[in-house]
Structure 1
Amino acid sequence: MTLRVLFIGEGSSDNGLVPHVESLAVRKGLRVSVTVPDFGLLPLPTGHSVPEKLFAARRLGGDYDLAVVQRDADRGPAQDRRDEIRAAVSTEWPGLRHVAVVPVRMLEAWLLLDEACLRHVAENPRGRVSLDLPRGVAVEKTADPKQLLKDSLARASEYKGRRLAQFQNRFSQHRLRLLELLDPEGPVACLPSWQAFVNDLDTAFNALGGH
């Protein structure tokens, strides 16, 4: 049996979470097929809210055993986002089991803890320039993790001038790559928001036929 999973993120660079969903399923002895909807196939633009994306995903068709919905906490409590996602699923897709993925404050915070990986994606793995990255749970108190990640990648690259500008224009690609390379048992494992994602997905997989 293959479980059908629907993944909805805030943007295309969040799709780097999909391999982590798949690897967690493998650990449970499960096979999964993860669908990331292409909302561009719809004749009308899709809104950015969770209810609008769920509504659009239903219009695209497909039956799913589980929805994994990612939404950053931003400056509010993580529980508010969880409640928002639960209400959206209840309204737009009643009966569909779901897992809410809520990074604190932004998903970029998860990508700031592995310095070696960041230097690798910055195309300068042997660089020695100081990055002064936050450590442990302190990263979830960073005011603007996205900007800090942009700045840290630029600093780690040690590029200058036009080459730096070209590098910075690829931030979405770098973010996606960092997420794909994220070690689930590395520094990110200390963060409550990551632990909640793993535990909630584990619980859902158990209910759907895991061990």
Structure 2
Amino acid sequence: MTARVLFLSEGSSDQGLVAHVEGIAADLGTQVTVSAPDLRWLRSSVGHSVADKLRTARELGATYDLAVVQRDADRGSPDIRKAEIAEAVSETWPDLRHVPVVPVRMLEAWLLLDEQALREVAGNPRGRIPLELPKAAAVERIADPKQRLKDTLAKASGCKGRRLAELQQRFPRNRHRLLDLLDRHGSVSEVPSWQAFVADLSAALRGL
């Protein structure tokens, strides 16, 4: 059996998580087909809430065995976000099993741990400027992981002036690339919110 999985992300740049959903399934020996529709492209009136996205995905008519729903914790509690996701599923698609993905505070925190990936994406793979990266145990306590990631890429690049400005403009693309390069068995595997994602998804896939 091939499990049909719906992936709903907070933003389009988070869809790089699809490959990790597929990788976790492969580790379990489970075959999955993951659909990650860009709902705003399909229908401009789609709202930003989880319920809006689920409702629109259901209206498109496809059937799924599992939904994986990503929503950053931001400055709130991960449990609050998980409850919001569960309520949205119950309201709009009550018979659909789901897995919440709640990075703390933002998904960017997961991308701050791999020095070589950061240097490569910054365009300076042989750079030697110290990046002062956080430890996995502390990365979830960074107040603004997105800004920290921007600053780290800038430092890793060694760029100044116009070249630095061009690098900053490419941040969404560079962030997506870092998500592609994320080693799920590397330092991120020590981060509690990542561990929760892997555990919840693994349990759901085994239960299908």
Identity of aligned residues (%): 63
Given that 2:12 and 2:38 are in contact with CA atoms closer than 8 Å, whether structure 1 keeps it comes out as no
**Structure-2 residue corresponding to 1:151:** 151
Partner of 2:141: 141
| Matched residue, 1:120 | 120
Matched with 2:104 is 104
What one-letter code is carried by the residue in structure 2 that aligns with 1:149? L
Q: Distance in 2 between matches of 1:61 and 1:36?
A: 14
Indicate whether 1:58 and 2:27 are aligned: no
The alpha-carbon deviation at position 105 of structure 1 amounts to 0.6
Q: Deviations over 1:47-89 (max 9, x none)?
A: 1111111111112220000000000111111100000000000
Q: For structure 1, which segment, 128-137 or 97-106, has the greater mean C-alpha deviation from structure 2 after superposition?
A: 128-137
Answer yes or no: is 1:41 the counterpart of 2:42: yes
Deviation string 1:4-29 (CA, Å, 9 cap, x unpaired) is 10000111110110001001111121
Partner of 1:9: 9
Once the two structures are TM-superposed, the CA of residue 38 in structure 1 deviates from its matched residue by: 2.3
Aligned amino acid, residue 41 of structure 1 = L
Gaps of at least 5 residues in structure 2 are: none
Give the Cα–Cα distance (whole angstroms) in 2 for the partners of residues 137 and 100 of structure 1. Answer: 21
- The aligned counterpart of 1:20 is 20
Structure 1 equivalent of residue 79 of structure 2: 79
Query: What RMSD, in angstroms, separates the aligned Cα atoms of the two structures?
Result: 0.9
Mapped partners of 1:48, 1:169: distance in 2: 24
Using the alignment, how far apart are the partners of 2:59 and 2:167 within structure 1?
38
Runs of 4+ in structure 1 off by over 3 angstroms are none
In structure 2, the residue matched to 1:131 is 131
CA distance in 1 between partners of 2:124 and 2:60 (Å): 42
- Equivalents in 1 of 2:59, 2:121: separation in Å? 37
DSSP 3-state at the match of 2:167: helix
How many residues are matched? 207
Deviations 1:151-195, CA, capped at 9 Å, x for gaps: 111111111221211111111111111111111111111111000
SS at match of 2:134: coil
Secondary structure of the structure 2 residue equivalent to 1:193: helix
User: Partners of 1:146 and 1:189 in 2: how far apart?
Assistant: 20
Q: CA deviation at 1:150?
A: 0.6
1:161 maps to which residue?
161
State the TM-score, normalizing by the size of structure 1.
Answer: 0.95
Give the secondary structure class of the aligned counterpart of 1:69. strand
- Residue type at the aligned position of 1:176: H
Deviates more, 1:158-167 or 1:18-27: 158-167
Look up the match of 2:69: 69
The one-letter amino acid of 2:57's match is A
